Amino acid sequence: MTPALEAHDLYRFYHVGDEETLALRGVSLSISAGETVAVIGPSGSGKSTLINCLAGLDDPDGGWVMVSGHRITRRPQRDQSRLRARHVGILLQSRNLQDHLTIGENMFAALFLAGNLGGRTYIHAALEAVGLLGRAEAFPDQLSGGELARASLAVALVNDPTVLLADEPTAEVDAENEGALLGLLVDRARGGCATVIVTHSAAVAAVADRVLNLIDGRLDGA
């Protein structure tokens, strides 16, 4: 079976002046539908760089990424955006909601970008799943940190993605909200979504099927 998400030999270098940072040095991974993988590692080890490359938000300097059997690396940005909108739900470390749109409008925008307006009926179900049914009309700055994290997840899930990439989704929430978010992520993974969660939290790593340790841009043991 084609893996839901596959990365082959990813390299990413950053240059600032004379400084070269080797953020990723040959990272390969393969994640099946329904599998939850936690990525742990020290600050600066390349976790967010990896998520950005997997999402097609950044192009690696070497290697490739396949999402649901489609190559997302090194294509015109328009194609990358389209693939991402259709197949990938993303929860970024910096929040991924548009501040000038309400939560409901943010979800609508995600459906629109994926050409999936038929999925409108799913807005209700996604908001209900994250416990924010009454807050569709609220703007992001009118929500608490935990509510924001859950609203971001609702947006990430509204297109029923085959791959969910989450960069420290529970970093800014309390233990209760962390539990609620984790429950939702695990539920979705059981429903067949291949899930990658970058985390510093032992509670998050504990629910994963596999834990990958990224150190200095390399997967430990790989």
Ligand X SMILES: Nc1ncnc2c1ncn2[C@@H]1O[C@H](COP(=O)(O)OP(=O)(O)OP(=O)(O)O)[C@@H](O)[C@H]1O
- Binding footprint of Mg ion on the chain (CB under 5 A): 47-48
Q: Which of 4, 5, 10, 23 binds ligand X (CB under 6 A)?
A: 23
Structure token digits, residue 175: 């233990």
21 in contact with ligand X (CB under 6 A): yes
- For residue 43, the partner it binds in Mg ion, ligand X, none, with Cβ less than 5 to 8 A by kind, is ligand X
- What is the rounded distance in angstroms from the CA atom of residue 172 to the CA atom of residue 91? 13
State the nearest-atom distance from the C-beta of 172 to ligand X, in Å.
13
Enumerate the β-bridge partners of residue 30: 6
CA pseudo-torsion sign 61, 221, 16, 19: negative
- For residue 49, the partner it binds in Mg ion, ligand X, none, with Cβ less than 5 to 8 A by kind, is ligand X
Nearer CB in complex with Mg ion: 48/195: 48
State the nearest-atom distance from the C-beta of 47 to Mg ion, in Å.
5
Beta carbons within 8 Å of 68's beta carbon, 6+ residues apart: 2, 4, 5, 87, 162, 163
- Per DSSP bridges, beta strands 5-16 and 62-67 are antiparallel
- Burial of 116 per CB tally in 10 Å (0-12, 13-18, 19+): middle
- For residue 170, the partner it binds in ligand X, Mg ion, none, with Cβ less than 5 to 8 A by kind, is none
63 in contact with ligand X (CB under 6 A): no
Nearer CB in complex with ligand X: 14/115: 14
- For residue 121, the partner it binds in Mg ion, ligand X, none, with Cβ less than 5 to 8 A by kind, is none
Structure token digits, residue 111: 């459906």
State the nearest-atom distance from the C-beta of 181 to ligand X, in Å.
18
Cβ pair 73, 67 in contact under 8 A: no
Q: Which of 5, 7, 31, 49 binds ligand X (CB under 6 A)?
A: 49
Residues that bind ligand X (CB under 6 A): 14, 16, 21, 23, 41, 43-49
